[in-house]
Amino acid sequence: MSKTKDLRDGVNKVTAPHGGHLMVNTTADGERWHYGAVLTQYGYVQVHAEPTFTSLSVVHDGFAVYRHIPRAYTRRGLVTLANRFAEEICG
């Protein structure tokens, strides 16, 4: 018997100007953090930003490349950072 009833799929329309999907979450303490993906000319860059750090990841030539930055960025800053990261790794 298949356990497909336990699977959950999600679909998000990519409509933001940067062509990605970033979500904002707010903790009970009121801290905000961002996560999602930014579409660059080289593909998607996964981003995650909390008040104390930001992480980026991209897959290039079969390797997952990660970067951890010990500071937070705004939504707009994440898009810029993701594009620069993709250019550096994939360009």
At 42-71, the pLDDT tens digits run 989 999 999 999 999 999 998 999 999 999
Long-range Cβ contact pairs of 27-35 (< 8 A, separation 24 or more): 34/73, 34/75, 34/78
Bin 58: left if φ > 0, else alpha if -120 < ψ < 50, else beta. Answer: beta
* Secondary element (H or E) of residue 46: strand 43-50
Residues 46/58, Cβ–Cβ less than 8 Å: yes
Looking at residue 7, its pLDDT comes to 64
Query: HSE (CB half, 13 Å, CA atoms) of 64?
Result: 5
| pLDDT tens-digit series, residues 31-47 | 888 889 998 889 899 99
Q: What is the pLDDT of residue 86?
A: 95
Quote the pTM value.
0.76
